């Protein structure tokens, strides 16, 4: 019987104030999406395996939750929203020439094999801007990330921005095999400087190229620190074009008045291989994981039949909630409504009275009189009730016995 009360590893329950705070947080994020003109979309919780297979560059197959339907087709619980949104956009907006703005909230399912304690079912809220490859689109998405994080009460956070074409340019010049690039990419992404140097020492590359690649794990910081160093390290046209684009995006972030939230990391390459340009992650203190991941994926849509450059991001809502709690940032859950207390023999009168309150738009909870004021007040506080009323039949009225103090 005791086992029936437990949840499997990697999933959890949300209840009472924590659940209410999570819903409020989701609502605040959705409001910001709306302010930027994004329209909500819902995709299925499970889809065909082909939507997320290795060609898409999404989550590794071994980390997906897979099952078979009655026809023997392999299904997958959604591990990543971006391929789902890409499929949906190609299906319903295939002929649309103008940019498409879509936003979403829902759960993703990843069997994290290498991370003990990480949630395997988690809530994500995000947005995708499809059909726009402009600098303005990149900057707008970064600005929306900043506004989202500010909307839930965060003040101390940083959005680190990278550009995978800087790495791609160096790899183009190095002429390495795909397996070597994958290994080097993993070492750089994990900031394993020693591993990078060890691998490069075994390759026949020029000293300048080795120096440039070796610098990637430490090539992060402010614009003033990163851009001059990046230009000093290489003359590769693709890599320099990546730096130029970041410089222009940074100028636009100044126009938004948000440059203080932006830093740069040219060693950030991301876990998803569909990223093609700008890539970014959001961090705050109180959690070891990033709270935002995003980037440009200009080639993914073409795999679903719609050639459209795109950029998007996802906010890890559960991780965000954890950070808010540890930073002691209170998510304002609205107090309201009344607790109507009645004696057992007057239930019908209480039902009619509660109905009249609800018609007027007032939230009402009903409770039989427990003859325990302290217990009822505790219940009201825990359930964000503003006032306790007792149905007094002797006086043919209701009277207030407790009212939440205004903060």
Can you say which residues are annotated as belonging to the binding site for L-histidine? 80-82, 124, 128, 274-275
Instruction: Output the known binding site.
Output: 80-82, 124, 128, 274-275
Q: How far is CA 208 from CA 173, 200, 227, 235, 320, in A?
A: 11, 12, 17, 10, 41
CB 258 within 8 A of CB 146: yes
Kindly state the helix (H) or strand (E) to which residue 223 belongs, with its residue range.
helix 223-233
Strands 387-392 and 338-342, sheet pairing: parallel
Coil, strand, or helix at residue 323?
A: helix
CB 266 within 8 A of CB 219: yes
CB 80 within 8 A of CB 36: no
Coil, strand, or helix at residue 68?
A: strand
How much helix, strand and coil, in percent to the nearest 5, is found in the chain? 45, 20, 35
Coil, strand, or helix at residue 101?
A: strand
CB 350 within 8 A of CB 182: no
CA gap 351, 343 in Å, rounded: 12
CA nearest to 131, candidates 157, 155, 97? 97
């Amino acid at each position: 019987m005791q086992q029936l009360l437990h949840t499997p590893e990697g999933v959890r329950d949300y209840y009472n104030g924590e659940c209410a705070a999570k819903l409020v947080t989701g609502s605040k994020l959705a409001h910001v999406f709306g302010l930027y003109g994004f329209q909500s979309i819902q995709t299925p919780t499970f889809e065909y395996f082909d939507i997320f297979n290795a060609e898409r560059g999404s989550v590794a197959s071994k980390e997906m939750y897979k099952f078979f339907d009655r026809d023997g087709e392999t299904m997958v619980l959604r591990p990543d929203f971006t391929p789902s949104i890409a499929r949906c956009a190609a299906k319903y907006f295939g002929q649309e020439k103008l940019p498409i703005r879509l936003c979403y909230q829902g759960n993703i399912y990843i069997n994290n094999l290498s991370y003990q304690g990480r949630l395997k079912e988690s809530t994500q809220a995000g947005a995708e801007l499809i059909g726009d490859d402009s600098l303005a689109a990149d900057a707008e998405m970064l600005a929306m990330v900043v506004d989202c994080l500010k909307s839930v009460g965060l003040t101390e956070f940083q959005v680190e921005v990278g550009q995978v074409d800087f790495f791609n340019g160096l790899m183009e010049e190095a002429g390495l095999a795909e397996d070597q690039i994958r290994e080097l990419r993993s070492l750089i992404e994990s900031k394993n400087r020693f591993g990078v140097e060890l691998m490069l020492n075994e390759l026949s590359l020029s000293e300048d190229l080795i120096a440039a690649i070796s610098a990637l794990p430490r090539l992060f910081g402010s614009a003033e620190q990163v851009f001059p160093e990046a230009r000093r390290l290489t003359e590769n046209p693709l890599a320099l074009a990546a730096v130029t684009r970041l410089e222009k995006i940074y100028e636009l972030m100044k126009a938004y008045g948000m440059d203080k939230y932006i830093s740069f990391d040219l060693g950030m390459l991301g876990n998803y291989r569909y990223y093609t340009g700008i890539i970014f992650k959001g961090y705050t203190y109180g959690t070891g994981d990033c709270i935002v991941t995003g980037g440009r994926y200009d080639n993914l849509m073409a795999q679903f039949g719609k050639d459209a450059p795109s950029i998007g991001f996802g906010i890890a809502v559960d991780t965000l909630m954890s950070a808010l709690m540890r930073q002691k940032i209170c998510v304002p859950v609205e107090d309201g409504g009344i607790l109507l207390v009645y004696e057992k023999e007057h239930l019908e009168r209480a039902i009619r009275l509660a109905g009249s309150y609800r018609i007027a738009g007032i939230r009402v909870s009903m409770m039989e009189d427990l003859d325990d004021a302290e217990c009822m007040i505790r219940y009201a506080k825990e359930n964000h009730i503003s006032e306790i009323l007792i149905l007094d039949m002797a006086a043919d009225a209701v009277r207030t016995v407790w009212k939440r103090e205004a903060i």
